[in-house]
Structure formats: structure tokens, C-alpha cells
Amino acid sequence: MLTIDIRDTHMYPVMILCAFLTGLVMQFLLNRSRGIRREIAALNALASFLCSIGGAVLLTWITSGGRSLGFSALGGLMGMYAGSALVGFASGRQYYPQILAQTCTLVLPVMYGIGKIGCLLAGCCRGIPYHGAGCVAYLTAEGTVTVLPVQLLETVCFFGIFAAGVYLYHRRVRIAVHLVFQASMWIKLLLDFLRGSHAGQILSVTQLLCLALIAADLALLLRRRSRQRAGGFPAPGKPE
């Protein structure tokens, strides 16, 4: 059993900062390896950071009905895509938006996994009550709370998705990016059932958003497949 005292902890912002630094540096390097100009790759990192923070806070505010401000992972994801799209289309280069979206997708799992370590240490997003092997005991102002370490499960799963995604991407598997996105959304959706805040719900707002993003990604993949059949396949070495 792991015991964590959350009565006086400051690790959450530290781990969120580490997640951003790790992800944005990795995205910069991936963009450079795909031929993105250095200044565009740097600008994309800045735009992704700012838009991700804004999206994370905004989605929390919207879903709470304007009653609270927090940090939503899905809001951060959508904000990061928005930042990459903004820089990609503003660059005026035909393939930049697609490449920036691909590298964004690849690094999001490792960013989320590191962020969840912060959640584990801060005691937020905690799991359902659980007293078996591997449980976590949180020392709070109200007493001790023993739960399933769902945040740790998320970290392990998303690190695995990141490693598999980078491997498939460098092996030029055409649907590598779509596989990473689908795996991330499904794991996020399923593990949400093990969160303590899910009690009394059939599907949470987060899970509904995951389903919407899954459907949107599948629609995009089918659209690209249809265009390929109509006009030929893209040049080799360009994962979708």
C-alpha cells in the first residue's frame, strides 16, 4: 500500500510543467525530423502551450456551468490541436498542418501520463474505494481515504501508447497516428469508469467527449481512405 499525504503538497503544478516541457520538446524534435523549419517548430511549441492551457481551463469552466476553474485534460488536448492548426495554416505550407497535427497526437500520451503522476501525488482524479493489493491511502484533513490508484494505471497505459506510437510512426505505418489517437481515447474512456467521481453516472461528460472525438477521428480516416481510392495513394513515407 502506498501512503500519500496530500494535506500540504505542491507536486501537481511541478508535474504539469514537466509534462509540458517533455511533450513540447519531443514535438519540436519530431517536427524538425519531418522537415519543419526551426522557427515554425518553435512557434508551434509556444502556441501549443498557450492554447492548451487556455483550452484546459475553458473546458472546465464550460462543463461546470461557469462555477469553477480547473485543468481538463481533454480541454488541453483540444487546445493543443488548435495551436498546432493555427501555426500550420498560418505557415502557408501545404503539409505543415498535417505534420503538426501528427506530431501533436504522438506526444499527447506521454504528456498525459506525466500529468497523471501529478494527479496521483495531489490526490485529484482519484479512483474508486479499494483496499486490496496496490491500493493508495491518502492522508487528508478529514482522515485517511483508501482508493484504487487509477492515475497510475493511466500513466502506465499512456506511456505504452506513446512508445508503441513512436515505433509505428518511424516504421512508416500509415495509420500510426490514428491508432495512437484511438487507443488514447478508448483507454481514457474505459479507465474513467474506475474514477471515484464516476459514481452514479452512466457516462460522464469526459466519456461523451471521448466518444465524439473517436467518431470524428474515424470519420477523418474514412474520408482520407475514400479520397485515396478516388485519386491514388499518397507518397510513401507519409504516415496519416
Q: What ranges do the domains of the chain cover?
A: 2-231
Q: What is the pLDDT of residue 235?
A: 45
Residue ranges of the chain with pLDDT lower than 70? 231-240
Over residues 126-160, the pLDDT tens digits come to: 899 999 998 999 998 888 999 999 999 999 999 99
Cell of 69: 476553474
Q: What is the pLDDT of residue 237?
A: 46
Q: What is the pLDDT of residue 159?
A: 97
Q: What is the pLDDT of residue 240?
A: 52
The pTM for the full model equals 0.87
Q: What is the pLDDT of residue 226?
A: 82
Supply the DSSP string of the chain, one letter for each residue.
-EEEE-SS--HHHHHHHHHHHHHHHHHHHHHHHTT--HHHHHHHHHHHHHHHHHHHHHHHHHHTTTS-----HHHHHHHHHHHHHHHHHHHT-SSHHHHHHHHHHHHHHHHHHHHHHHHHHHTTT-B-B--STT-EEEEETTEEEEE--HHHHHHHHHHHHHHHHHHHHHTT-TTHHHHHHHHHHHHHHHHGGGBGGGTT-SS-HHHHHHHHHHHHHHHHHHHHHHHHHHH-PPPTT---
Q: What is the pLDDT of residue 238?
A: 52
